Amino acid sequence: MIIRNVRILGGELVDIRVADGEIAEIGTGLEGPETVDGGGAIALPGLVDLHTHLREPGREDAETVQTGTQSAARGGYTAVHAMANTSPVADTAGVVEQVWRLGREFAHCDVHPVGAVTVGLEGKQLAELGAMADSAARVRVFSDDGKCVDDAVLMRRALEYVKAFDGVIAQHAQEPRLTAGAQMNEGVISGRLGLTGWPAVAEEAIIARDCLLAAHVGSRLHICHVSTAGSVEIIRWAKSKGWNVTCEVTPHHLLLTDDLVEDSPVGAYNPIYKVNPPLRTRADVEALRAALADGTIDIVATDHAPHPVEDKETEWSAAAMGMVGLETALSVVQEAMVETGLLDWAGVAQRMSVVPARIGRLGGQGQPLEVGAPANITLYDPSARTEVDPSAFASKSRNTPYEGMTLPGRVVATFLRGRATVLEGKLV
Ligand SMILES: [Zn+2]
C-alpha cells in the first residue's frame, strides 16, 4: 500500500510505501495497486497515551475496551495505557491479561494495561507487581491513579520492587488529608464560590517527597497530570540533579482555567469542568505550557476519563471528576502549543508518541517514521477547523469541556502496523 502526499513532521511532500506492517520505502511518485491520498496531511508517528481510563471491567456503561480504543484511533492513537482503577481493580495478572486480551481482540489500537501499585488501590499492601510484569500483558507501568500512594514506606517499596524489571511507578500526586472534600482549585474563585479548595501544595508536597524517594532508591518515577507552576519547579529541580523523573500534562490543563467554574459558556458550577487535579489558574497554564516546551514536562497524556451522563449532569458537589480527551487531544495541543509557537510538529511527535512509548517501554510504538519502522502512522490536517460535537465521538461517554468550541485540526487517518483503523476521519 502507498500512502501518498504526506508531510512527515510537517516537512516536504512524500509518499510512504507500507509492506508487512512496516515502512518499506519513503520517496516521491511511488506507485502501487492500493493507495491512500493523504492530501498534504502531516504524518506523525502513531500517538501513544500513557494515561487512559477504559473502564472495563466494571463500568461498561461509561466505556469499554472496544469503544475506548475506537475513540483512541479516532484521536490518532495507536497505543494506550489502560489505568488500573477498574472493577475489579487491575491488581492481578488475571485482570491485566483480561484487559490486554480484549485489546488484542478488537485491535483498534494496542492496549497496555497499567497495574495497580496496591491491592484494591487501598494503599495498604503492595499488589503482585512481579506477576503482572511477567504476565502476557508484560506490565511496566504501575499506578493507583485516582488515588495517591500516600504511605511513604509503601511508595519506597514499590519504587524498589519495579527496578527488577525496569518498571515505573506513575504517581497520582494528591495528599489526601489536604484535599479532603476538595471540589476545585483552592484560590480566589473557590473562596468566592464557597467550594472546598484543592490546594496546589497537596500536589507539590507529594511530588517533592516522591522525587526524593526515587533518587534515594535509584528508581524510575513518573508523575501523572502535573497541574501547578510549583510542581513544574520541583520537577525541574529534580531533573537538574539527574534523577530519573518524568511527568505528563493533560490537554485540558494546557488550555482551561478555574474561572470556568464561575463563569463559562455553559453557565456557572457546570460539572463538565470538574476534574482531578482541578483546573488551575492562568499563571499555572502558562507555566505548564513553558515546561512542556522546554522539556521539563516530558509528555502529554489525556487522562481520558469517561463518565455516563447521570454521573456528570448533576449538582457540582455530587458529580464525578474527569473529562473524555482522546478525540480532542491533538487539536487542543495544536491550539495551546503549536498555534502559540511553543512547539513544532517534531516537538509534538516527541511529546505525544516517542517519549510516552519510551516511558512505557513499548518497543514497537513511538518510532520515527523511517524505513524499517513499524507503520504506526497518524495523518493530521492542521488547517481544518472543527466544531466539537460530542455526539460524533466514538467514546461511549460525552463529558467533554469543548462541546461547541471550534478547535484547529482534524485526524484524517490512523494506521496500526500498516492497517488503517481510521480513514477520512471515520473508523474503518
Ligand atoms: Zn489521576
Active site residue 134: no
Dist. CA 65 → ligand 1 center (Å): 19
Are residues 97 and 123 in contact, defined by beta-carbon separation less than 8 angstroms? no
Dist. CA 213 → ligand 1 center (Å): 20
Half-sphere exposure of 265 (CA within 13 A, CB side): 6
pTM, 2 dp: 0.98
Dist. CA 143 → ligand 1 center (Å): 9
> What is the mean pLDDT of the segment spanning 17-25?
98
Three-point CA angle 328, 258, 149, nearest 5°: 80
Pick the catalytic residue: 150, 303, 311, 381? 303
3-state secondary structure of 49: strand
Q: What is the pLDDT confidence band of residue 218, given thresholds at 50, 70 and 90? A: very high
All three cell numbers of 156: 519506597
Per residue in 381-410, pLDDT tens?
Answer: 999 999 999 999 999 999 999 999 999 999
Dist. CA 415 → ligand 1 center (Å): 29
Dist. CA 277 → ligand 1 center (Å): 7
Dist. CA 305 → ligand 1 center (Å): 9
- 239: CB partners within 8 A, 6+ apart: 245, 296
Phi/psi at 51 (nearest 5 deg)? -150, 90
Are residues 233 and 218 in contact, defined by beta-carbon separation less than 8 angstroms? no
Q: What is the pLDDT confidence band of residue 52, given thresholds at 50, 70 and 90? A: very high
> What is the mean pLDDT of the segment spanning 118-133?
98
Per residue in 267-281, pLDDT tens?
Answer: 999 999 999 999 999
> What is the mean pLDDT of the segment spanning 279-296?
98
Q: What is the pLDDT confidence band of residue 257, given thresholds at 50, 70 and 90? A: very high
> What is the mean pLDDT of the segment spanning 345-368?
97
H-helix or E-strand containing 240?
helix 229-240
| pLDDT given for residue 189 in this prediction | 97
Nearest C-alpha neighbor of 198 from the set 170, 155, 229, 228: 228
Dist. CA 7 → ligand 1 center (Å): 35
> What is the mean pLDDT of the segment spanning 67-73?
98
| pLDDT given for residue 141 in this prediction | 98
| pLDDT given for residue 35 in this prediction | 95
Per residue in 324-337, pLDDT tens?
Answer: 999 999 999 999 99
Dist. CA 365 → ligand 1 center (Å): 24
| pLDDT given for residue 366 in this prediction | 98
> What is the mean pLDDT of the segment spanning 9-36?
96
Angstrom distance (rounded) from CA 331 to CA 130: 38
- Mean pLDDT for all residues in the chain: 97
- 11: CB partners within 8 A, 6+ apart: none
